[in-house]
Amino acid sequence: MRVRVEHAFVPVTLLVLIVALSITTDTFLTTRNITNVLTQMAILGIVAFGVTIVMVGGAFDLSIGSQTALHGVVSAVVMVETGSIWLGVGAALLSGLTFGLVNGLIVGGLAINPFIATLGTLVLARGLALTVSDGKVVSGLPAGLAEFGRGDLFGLPWTVVLLIGCFLVASYILHVTPLGLRLFAVGGSAKAARLAGIKVSRVQMAAFMVSGLFAAVAGLALTARVRSGQPLSGELLELYAIAAAVLGGTSLYGGRGAVWRTAVGVALITVIQNGLNLLNVASELQMIVIGTVFIVAALSETLQDRGLRFTRRKVGVVTGPSELVLAPDRGLRDSDPDDRPGTGPERVTPADDCAPGSGAAAHELGQEPVQPRK
Amino acid sequence: MTGGPAREDALALRGIVKSYGSTRALRGVDLTLQPGAIQALIGPNGSGKSTLVKCLAGDLRPDRGEVLLGGVGRPGFASPTQARSAGVSVVHQDPECFEELSVADNIVIARPPRRGVGPWSVRDRAATVAVASRVLRRVGADIDPRERLRNLSLADRTLVAICRAIVEDVRFLVLDEPTAALGRDDAERVYRVCHAVREAGAGVLVVTHRLHEVVTHASRVTALRDGAIHADLSAESSSVEELVGLVADARSGRKEVVGVSPRDRAVVVSTHELDGDGYEGPVDVQLRAGEVTTVAGLPGSGANHFVRQLCGVAARARGEVRISHPDAQGAMGFVGESRRDEGVFPDMSVLDNMVIAAIDGPSWLPIRRRRLDARARQVAEQLGIVTASLDAPISSLSGGNQQKALIGRWVVADISVLGLEEPTNGLDVGAREDVYRAVGDLVGANKAVVARCTDEQEAAQLGDVILVFTEGRLVASLPGDATPGAVLEVSTPIVTHRRGMNES
């Protein structure tokens, strides 16, 4: 296995950061904080694993953030109506699969550009979430759910168990099954894939269904954690997820990526947020820092990529186009919390499982209460 | 040494050397273009014509040698812009045009006319149309400058591309296969433009496969072979037959490498009144197990459309392709002309590239890698794929090894018919022989192979049966012992009427 130099920046930065935070703070390397970091990683991680699968197949899924809200709300409503947690879980998963199928049919079947298609379903899912919940936070969930949200398995919170489970499932799909290999092929060259006898639209459809399913799991984790259905949660989550995947080295053009690499990207984002919280950096400043990190990471990779391409050209090897230009900075530029109602530093975030003052993290975890409609 | 003494106003290339990696595409080429004359550049595929054109265009910088223009020598043009400002304009094969812009905008795109001063100037649409009309009139092209480019025929687009090249003062115009995709009448229109440019005092270099055009229109002809000048003579006094001899060369083909296949095997694929876009049917041919059928024809002859439809890669208008194989879906493999766009998955390993078409079983269960990998490794060894590791990305391999891996993909998938397009496109001699050997192995294993070869040399040497297309028609089916010269003769439009269609 060849080590790709161009992907060293992010893992190395993560390691340096962990070491630095362990030395400079006495709080970072505590069981409580590590559990906290893992919990914070969960929602973003689960969604990012799903979007990695779609991206390796050469497509985008921008709808996953809204989907998290939709499937979470669906589960909450079903739980409230039926009083059964498991019916709620089933409803969310079904909702995720169905929505993924719709995305897949639009992209694969109707051959509409995935960026445009899922931009449409992003808005659509948000509208559905608000419709299903009647524009309000869905509360009054069965008591058992609270236990699930707070409980643990061998000391690991359930959301972290879900994160690890999703990591394993995504890795299995992408790196073990025929679907995974075909996704790499389709993302690498759809034309060549077609000529190699691969049913391109079917493969993409499957990827969107997996992504929908993962969004449903994320929605469930969120609902369990905040013990309510939040129709406005998960805003901009898709951009953070894509950013995490790209930070990890997933190609924006498809055909390259790995689930573990996305996990590293997610970890980097989360550790930066956590570290800045521990150092009491204000959330406005945090966004500036994270945005800068994205751009530097992208820059370091394109620079190395250019350097490599220069040396490779000498031996006559064709390399692909450089990547990593779009998502990271986009994701951050658009994520100013003060633009939106109901967020911002002055709002009180539930303090039970989230580090204080983490604007971005709290926001994408959907922990801000939704203002009831007038 | 060619070209005669360089006049002060001539464009001269002296000792141009250009290598790609270990492949020497040009090994010391001398070429002189005289103003006021049309010169032709001919040569088999891979002889270095395109590289030479790219050096003239400023797309490539020669490794060694110099370009002399107007008495000034320089080590090649640094950029297309520099070449253009020196008065050398190149129209590439399939020139990049702007589909959504008007003809006039396409013509002036490099420097749109403006009115106003400096940063306050705006585009001058009236002047744009005026300039474009003037150029179009000058070359005698009857095209409305206000028309959108996408509404134009291929021939008109070619003329627009030439107009774009000559809208500013041009001293030398280089056309790379301008008539390749055109019919005879349209080709004549292109040459009328060339003559107009010549009469205006500029020199014209035309790269072409169509030898009768050379004899009719050019005053000099230069033949390239293996990156060096092979011949340089007066075109007016030479015949098509003479030029055929210059273009055909004595490379070792498949038959020298693996021998001729025995005949009279079972028919695996047969076409029935096949007819489609790009050629005129009905075409009824048969592919036999254990045989290589090559489909020869110049670019634009319809051979490529036919092979793609035969292989089920392009939609066919009428007729059908019958495959006598229980599993017709998985029976056919196809290796397209462009390895980069249609063949390899660049970031995937060689092994993954080879097993991808053979994967079966449910999408959600683990791939049975052990069996597939073992098979792929075996095939890779058989084909002689040279790589440090089969787990390395396929993009790290040379073109020849990539091509072998792509053929290997279908060997692993165990198909019974393989379609190939330009199987040795851009490969050096050694890799070429390896590919021929791979094809030989395939037919040895009783597979049927159909290969589209623009190069008559390859068509003749690879095929047990040679189908020849000319100007959209299947004109001949030659036996495997036909010479490259015979193939070229049949595929050259002007002599098509001499021979009828032989019985296959």
Strands, E, within B208-341: which ranges?
A: 220-225, 228-234, 267-276, 279-283, 286-288, 292-296, 318-323, 332-335
Residues of chain A with Cβ-Cβ distance to B364 below 8 Å are: 173, 177, 179
Residue B374, pLDDT > 50, answer yes
Task: Read off the pLDDT of residues B91-133 as tens digits, 9 standing for 90 and up.
Answer: 987 777 888 899 999 999 888 888 888 788 888 889 999 999 9
Task: Read off the pLDDT of residues B277-313 as tens digits, 9 standing for 90 and up.
Answer: 778 878 888 888 888 999 998 877 888 888 998 888 8
B423 shares a domain with B280: yes
Nearby residues of B361 by Cβ (< 8 Å), 6 or more positions away: A178, B367, B368
B295 shares a domain with B220: no
**Are the Cβ atoms of A198 and B340 closer than 8 angstroms?**
no
How sure is the predictor about A367, in pLDDT bands with cuts at 50, 70 and 90?
very low
Query: Does the beta carbon of A321 lie under 8 angstroms from any beta carbon of chain B?
Result: no
**Are the Cβ atoms of A178 and B361 closer than 8 angstroms?**
yes
Residue A125, pLDDT > 70, answer yes
| Structural domain count, chain B | 3
- Give the rounded distance of the alpha carbon of B193 from its chain centre: 23
Task: Read off the pLDDT of residues B67-98 as tens digits, 9 standing for 90 and up.
Answer: 888 778 888 888 888 888 889 999 987 777 88
B428 shares a domain with B407: no
B311 shares a domain with B352: no
Strands, E, within B49-168: which ranges?
A: 64-69, 72-74, 88-91, 114-115, 122-123
- Nearest Cα neighbor of B201 from B9, B359, B22, B381 is B9
CA nearest to A57 within chain B: B345
Residue A352, pLDDT > 70, answer no
Nearby residues of B378 by Cβ (< 8 Å), 6 or more positions away: none
Query: Does the beta carbon of A189 lie under 8 angstroms from any beta carbon of chain B?
Result: yes
Q: What is the pLDDT of residue A67?
A: 97
Residues of chain B with Cβ-Cβ distance to A319 below 8 Å are: 346, 395
Query: Does the beta carbon of A237 lie under 8 angstroms from any beta carbon of chain B?
Result: no
**Are the Cβ atoms of B367 and A191 closer than 8 angstroms?**
no
| Global pTM value | 0.76
**Are the Cβ atoms of B342 and A191 closer than 8 angstroms?**
yes
Alpha-carbon span A227 to A253, nearest angstrom: 38
* ipTM rounded to 2 decimals: 0.74
Least confident span in A50-54, B217-221, B398-402? B398-402
In a domain, B22, yes or no: yes
Return the number of other C-beta atoms located less than 10 Å from residue A165's C-beta. Answer: 12
In a domain, B1, yes or no: no
Question: Which of the listed CATH numbers 3.40.50.2000, 3.40.50.2020, 3.10.20.30, 1.10.3470.10 matches domain A5-339+348-364?
Answer: 1.10.3470.10
DSSP string, A72-110: HHHHHHHHHHH--HHHHHHHHHHHHHHHHHHHHIIIIIS
Q: What is the pLDDT of residue B459?
A: 87
B17 versus B21: which is more confidently predicted? B17
Alpha-carbon span B137 to B142, nearest angstrom: 7
Domain harbouring B477, CATH code:
3.40.50.300
B158 shares a domain with B208: yes
Rounded to the nearest angstrom, the minimum Cα separation between B196 and chain A is 41
B111 shares a domain with B15: yes
Residues of chain A with Cβ-Cβ distance to B391 below 8 Å are: 1-2
Residues of chain A with Cβ-Cβ distance to B425 below 8 Å are: none
A259 versus B363: which is more confidently predicted? A259
B272 shares a domain with B403: no
B373 shares a domain with B463: no
Average pLDDT over residues B447-470: 87
**Are the Cβ atoms of A185 and B356 closer than 8 angstroms?**
yes
**Are the Cβ atoms of A318 and B340 closer than 8 angstroms?**
yes
In a domain, B3, yes or no: no
Of B227, B247, B267, the last residue of a domain is: B247
Q: What is the pLDDT of residue A370?
A: 41
B53 shares a domain with B117: yes
Alpha-carbon span B9 to B410, nearest angstrom: 55
Domain ranges of chain A: 5-339+348-364
How sure is the predictor about A368, in pLDDT bands with cuts at 50, 70 and 90?
very low
Mutate to test the interface with B, among A261, A318, A319, A322 (most CBs of B within 10 A): A318
Whether the bond into B282 is cis, omega within 30 of 0 = yes
In a domain, B462, yes or no: yes
Who among B336, B346, B413 is closest to A320 (CB)? B346
B48 shares a domain with B149: yes
Task: Read off the pLDDT of residues A171-228 as tens digits, 9 standing for 90 and up.
Answer: 999 999 999 999 999 999 999 999 998 999 999 999 999 999 999 999 999 998 888 9
Residues of chain A with Cβ-Cβ distance to B23 below 8 Å are: 316
For residue B466, what are the β-bridge partners?
Answer: B294, B478
B54 shares a domain with B158: yes
Interface of A with B in 252-271 (CB under 8 A): 255-256
Query: Does the beta carbon of A195 lie under 8 angstroms from any beta carbon of chain B?
Result: yes
- With pLDDT > 70 as the criterion, what percentage of chain B qualifies? 89
Mutate to test the interface with B, among A189, A199, A314 (most CBs of B within 10 A): A189
Q: Which domain holds residue B370?
A: 343-414
